[in-house]
Amino acid sequence: MTSSEVEIPVVAFEPGRWGDPAAPMHLSDSVRGALTMLGIDGTEPPRAAPSIAPGRADADALAALRATGAGVADDDEARRRHLRGYSTPDLLKFRAGDGTDAPDVVVTPDAADQVAAVLAVCVERGLTLSPFAGGTSVTGGLAPERARPVVALDLRGLTGLLDLDETSQVATFAAGTRLPEAERLLGERGFELGHFPQSYEGATIGGCAVTRSAGQSSIGYGRFDEMVVGLSIATPLGAAEIGTAPKSAAGPDLRQLFLGSEGALGVVTAVRVRVHPVPAVRRFYGWRFPDFAAGAAAMRVLAQGSVRPTVLRLSDEAETGLNLANPGAAGQAAVGGCLMIAGFEGDEVDVDCRDGYVSARLVELGGAFLGEEPGEAWRAGRFRGPYLRDPLLDVGALVETLETVTFWSNLERLKADVTAAITGALGDQGTPAVVMCHISHVYPTGASLYFTVISKALDDPLAQWGRAKEAANAAIRAAGASITHHHAVGTDHRSTYLQEIGDVQLTALRAVKDALDPQGVLNPGILLP
């Protein structure tokens, strides 16, 4: 079948609730029934509207910010709309009426030179600058230290396709362009980006760059950090254009210093990124494997070979049993075993070639072909999973996700250890947990693991989850895996991240930070302490 993703509208998420407000999800009776097994009885926890304290930016600062030409707002509503991101702790704080992390002022530039001017004002006046891209952080990436007044720099006014080099298949986007808008603009020219993180509806091009986003087609089109060929960055020292050629041996690849820098080293204002022609053919299949080990081994064979699908993911037994790969049918009868999705995009001959090879290998490796229906169901619901969280919180469940990445030889151990850490930490609090897992990103040498946790919420769900998260982080570190595969560091992963990189690397990174941002204006506390 042929289709495009451009029908996805550019929507504004409401603060405190994930996704398109016009398209909420509701829990089915089968999900509600399943929840009772965890002791979740459907009682809604108490809620309060977030209380926003008066902004701390003084009149001179506001005037200086206004003089840049950017929009400036310090009303409660604007600040509430830039209050944290969408981790479960963020949502729980929002529901508890905690508005303490609200920025003091919200600035909305619509040109790169305004970004530079705002940055200069912040340097001059000792204000903290916190870039706000899609606002979909799930790691505390929008809650910098608050020692100084915080300016949230909402980049979504920097939008548009600035250039398309059709020969090189390189598009230049303003950093605040949201992914659905990027696909719409490219689609008009016959191209697409093909970058589909679950936050697709809200995420921006610049946000994907600074957090090293990974999309559902990563085996086909690469991670976002692999797709980026160049960045335009505003820093307190001035602007920089980074990335001269696709690949180069001219020193360290400094793109890779700013990719993943989470607003701590500069503000990305434009991104040059690899694109491809809109595929003539898209085919998505379901496969059933008897167990997770067999499915993971099959993924490894494909990832280590030369002929690959465009999309490849595998749900474990628990996730398959709950139908989480098809959120609209969650809780309904599942296929059993472990569900794999393998998708192909390209021209007819290329897809035939890859489909033929991959399907034959999957049969050899123990897969049972389920046809296009499960593949298309997954594709139709590919951004809907996170929509289940809010209605689950509404009925007294505690729900969160976390993710990590390691080498293939360590994957089973990592999965077992993280699962045990979470179930142990929640079980110790009297709340047994269901922990589900999938592999959504594979490489020749390893793969990511994405966990979804459901338990009954206690009266202090923040503290309850905090203990589980801490146990999971410790298990990830002990297993020698990375604290994040695509959610980034923010504030939530910072301490584990520092253990992961060690003193020498921290010294190098801190030196760059101090050299480019000597006043420490940019996102203090995000990524680096």
Q: Within positions 282 to 311, which residues make up the interface with a copy of itself, using CB under 8 A?
A: 300, 304-308, 310
State the binding string over 342-371 for a copy of itself (x if CB under 8 A, else -). Answer: ----x--xx--xx-xx--x-----------
Q: Does 46 bind a copy of itself (CB under 8 A)?
A: no
Candidate residues 169, 359, 401, 519; the one interacting with a copy of itself per rule CB under 8 A: 169
Q: How far is the CB of 272 from a copy of itself (least distance, A)?
A: 9
Of 85-144, binders to a copy of itself (CB under 8 A) are: none
Contact present, 119 and 234 (Cβ < 8 Å):
yes
Q: CA–CA separation, 329 vs 326, rounded Å?
A: 6
**71: exposed, middle or buried (C-beta count within 10 Å: 0-12, 13-18, 19+)?**
middle
From the list 106-114, 121-129, 287-295, 402-410, the region that binds a copy of itself by CB under 8 A is 402-410
Query: Among 483, 488, 525, 524, which Cα is nearest to 500's?
Result: 483
Q: Residue 424: how many CB atoms within 10 A of its CB?
A: 15
Q: Among residue numbers 415 through 434, which ones bind a copy of itself (CB under 8 A)? A: none
Residue among 121 and 242 whose Cβ is closer to a copy of itself: 242
Residue 270 in contact with a copy of itself, rule: CB under 8 A: no
Question: Going edge to edge, which strands form the sheet with 238-242?
Answer: 161-165, 170-174, 267-274, 228-235, 238-242
Does residue number 482 form part of the binding site for a copy of itself (CB under 8 A)?
A: yes
**Contact region for a copy of itself (CB under 8 A) — 52-60, 198-206, 367-375, 480-488?**
480-488
- Show the 3-state SS of 98-117: ECCCCCCEEEECCCHHHHHH
262 binds a copy of itself (CB under 8 A): yes
User: How far apart are CB 309 and a copy of itself at their closest, in Å?
Assistant: 9
Alpha helices in 47-126 (DSSP H): 59-66, 76-80, 88-95, 112-125
- The closest of 42, 19, 82 to 393, measured between CA atoms, is 42
Confirm or reject binding of residue 332 to a copy of itself (CB under 8 A).
Answer: no
Whose Cβ is closer to a copy of itself: residue 28's or residue 256's? 256
CB of residue 421 vs a copy of itself: minimum separation in angstroms?
18
Site size toward a copy of itself, by CB under 8 A: 99
Sign of CA dihedral 92, 94, 99, 104: positive
HSE at residue 401, side-chain half, CA atoms within 13 A, is 23
Q: Does 380 bind a copy of itself (CB under 8 A)?
A: no
The two structure tokens encoding residue 458: 């206690």
Pick the binder of a copy of itself from 79, 82, 148, 212 (CB under 8 A).
212
Which residue lies nearer to a copy of itself by CB, 399 or 476? 476
Only segment of 16-24, 50-58, 177-185, 495-503 that touches a copy of itself (CB under 8 A): 495-503
Q: How far is the CB of 400 from a copy of itself (least distance, A)?
A: 17
Our CB check for a copy of itself shows the closer of 103 and 194 to be 194
481 binds a copy of itself (CB under 8 A): yes
Pairing of strands 276-277, 368-371: unpaired
Give how far Cα 274 sits from Cα of 109, 213, 269, Å.
Answer: 26, 14, 17
Question: Scanning residues 226 to 245, which ones bind a copy of itself (CB under 8 A)?
Answer: 229, 233, 235, 237-242, 244-245
Question: Which residue in the block uniquely carries the two structure tokens 């990445």?
Answer: 405
Closest contact distance (angstroms) between CB of 141 and a copy of itself is 11
DSSP string, 174-240: ETT-BHHHHHHHHHTTTEE-----TTTTT-BHHHHHHTT---TTHHHH--HHHHEEEEEEEETTEEE
Q: How many CB atoms lie within 10 A of CB 249?
A: 6
Supply the minimum distance, in Å, between the C-beta of residue 74 and a copy of itself.
Answer: 31
Among 11, 120, 254, 462, binds a copy of itself (CB under 8 A): 254
